[in-house]
Amino acid sequence: MTPLDLAPVPVGLLLREWRAARRLSQLDLSLDANISARHLSCIETGKAQPSRTLLMRLADVLDMPLRERNALLRAGGYAPSYPETGLDTPAMGRINQAIDFILRQQEPYPAFLMNRHWDILATNDAAQRVNGFVLDGRASKHANMLRAVFDPDDLRGALANWDDIGATLIGHLHALVAGSPTDTKARALLDEILAYPNVPSRWRLRDLDTPPAPLLTTEFRHRGVTLSFFSTITTFGTPRDITIDGLHIESCFPMDEATAQFCRRLGEQP
């Protein structure tokens, strides 16, 4: 049982929160959803009961994640529409095959499978080799990418451009919190990350003026070796399952030939 199951949030309150998160007025949302602003106002104040079809239409306009769409349906008194299937179940066999193929195809360069909160669910061997090199053979303290990057005793110590990486990642986390008002785990993660030592105070507020960089670049410096990567993100299109909806694969590519050669040499070692 989740807290939402035990104490349902009024559907009107949820809609107001999501509308505010998307910076939409009642008129904007009503026009996009093809309903009257008066009807939307009555739904938000609890004077009208929305149909299941209308809630699904509003969720589409608000671009809500599948988990939050289920929460909206429950709040409206309807059964959820989207399942949440574990990755280790037979039903996810094809998805796991695709994930494994993408991770292996990225060799000898790192790749990571993560969920929407940056928990690392799987990696290829190259990711473990590079992490092992920059951490002098010890395992990372964390199974979460944000914690590993912000913890001074983990990857942060080997990141030459930590200021840039930290600013980019904290921006994405702020965006997740702002865009998912009911995601308490994301809010708790933001508080935890901001509590690490020497995190600039300006990162406590969301920066709306600086757009995110099109590519995230990562530069490690360790034992006289510099490794430079840029990253791309792969997601699953039109997911119908909550688990798949939150997955993404980060693939790292070398920015120079020296990094490429070093990764190839690491892969040739026993």
pLDDT at 181: 83
pLDDT at 5: 42
pTM of the model: 0.88
205-214: average pLDDT: 77
pLDDT at 3: 42
pLDDT bracket for residue 270 (50, 70, 90): confident
Mean pLDDT computed over every residue of the chain: 93
188-200: average pLDDT: 97
Cα dihedral sign for 143, 146, 151, 153? Answer: positive
pLDDT at residue 174 above 80?
yes
Q: What percent of the chain has pLDDT over 90?
A: 87
Q: Report in angstroms the alpha-carbon separations of 60 from 7, 72, 142, 185, 241.
A: 25, 12, 35, 23, 15
- Cα-Cα-Cα-Cα torsion 141, 249, 17, 31, nearest 10 degrees, comes to 170
pLDDT at residue 4 above 60?
no
pLDDT at residue 178 above 90?
no
Cα–Cα dist 121/97, whole Å: 14
With left for phi above 0 and alpha for psi between -120 and 50, is residue 86 left, alpha or beta?
A: beta
pLDDT bracket for residue 115 (50, 70, 90): very high
The three-class DSSP label of residue 248 is strand
Bridge partners of 114, per DSSP, are 120, 248
Bridge partners of 120, per DSSP, are 114
pLDDT at 8: 63
pLDDT at residue 24 above 80?
yes
pLDDT tens-digit series, residues 229-248:
999 999 998 889 999 999 99
Q: How many CB atoms lie within 10 A of CB 223?
A: 8
pLDDT tens-digit series, residues 248-260:
999 999 999 999 9
71-82: average pLDDT: 94
Distance of CA 239 to the CA centre of its chain: 15
